[in-house]
Amino acid sequence: MTAFESPSFGSRVKSMLKLDFYRLFNTPLFYIMLAIAAIIPAMVLGLSVVETTGAPQSTSQYAANTPQIEMPAFDYTWQLIETSENFTGEESGGFDLAGFANINMLYIFAGLLMAIFVAHDYSSGFVKNIFTVHSKKIDYVLSKSAIGIFSGAGMIVMYVCGTVLAGAFTGKSFELGVSGFGGLVFCLVSKMLLMGVFCPLFLSIAVFFRSKLWLTIVFTFLLGMMFYPVASFGTTLDSTVIAPLAALVAGGAGALAFGTVSNLFLKKRDLA
């Protein structure tokens, strides 16, 4: 390559990835997020145990007619990740948190980590140096999506470790779905692949609001809740090999669609 030739796409992306992963591994927040991911299952399962073994609930007319917001009563440990297709539980009579108090909240955590990275790039002015010296807009999108997906997958691993420890300490059953251990593996792999949908989505929010981190956080939570059903679609403990294949297609399509949106935002807006 001569002095007048611009770096190739591959070398630009490699340089951007190297920079971002160096920053990631030297950022305490990354390790804090991993620790939180491991602690969450213990907290959720612990609160569930307290709720189901604590003092009797009031039998007053007011309590009977008022919708209750309760922690779900988990019947087995892996329900912290997902349920089986054939799982049937009793209705709690209130707002059931089982759909939220599980591994799917990690998609939002991965989005928040990317949001902080992007907001820092803009607030510090570092983004100008990136685009004028190191990289192009698409390289930035690919690299930030990669660290989001990588971080999200790491959080999933830590969440599973925390789930195992929480189940062991509370004495919950490690019952699996009809697909057995394979169903659990397919479920977890699918969860990781679906990071390809959520991380580019949250990245598009981050690059739109740039240094306005509080707005990014608000919209990350809002859109995260709207897209929450996607995280559970077809990814149960009864999953087969079809689940990760479908998640791979969905993740690829989501990465392409939302990555294009992020790239468009970066091109249409200035770097201030």
Q: Is 239 left (phi over 0), alpha (psi -120 to 50) or beta?
A: beta
Of 141, 130, 143, the C-alpha closest to 14 is 143
* Span 144-166, pLDDT tens digits: 999 999 999 999 999 999 999 98
pLDDT on residue 188 = 94
pLDDT confidence band for 76 (50 / 70 / 90): confident
Q: How far apart are CA 179 and CA 239, in angstroms?
A: 7
User: Whole-prediction pTM value?
Assistant: 0.84
pLDDT on residue 49 = 58
* Span 219-264, pLDDT tens digits: 999 988 888 777 777 788 888 899 999 999 999 999 999 999 999 9
Q: How far apart are CA 61 and CA 63, in angstroms?
A: 6
Q: How far is CA 247 from CA 180, 196, 204, in A?
A: 20, 9, 20
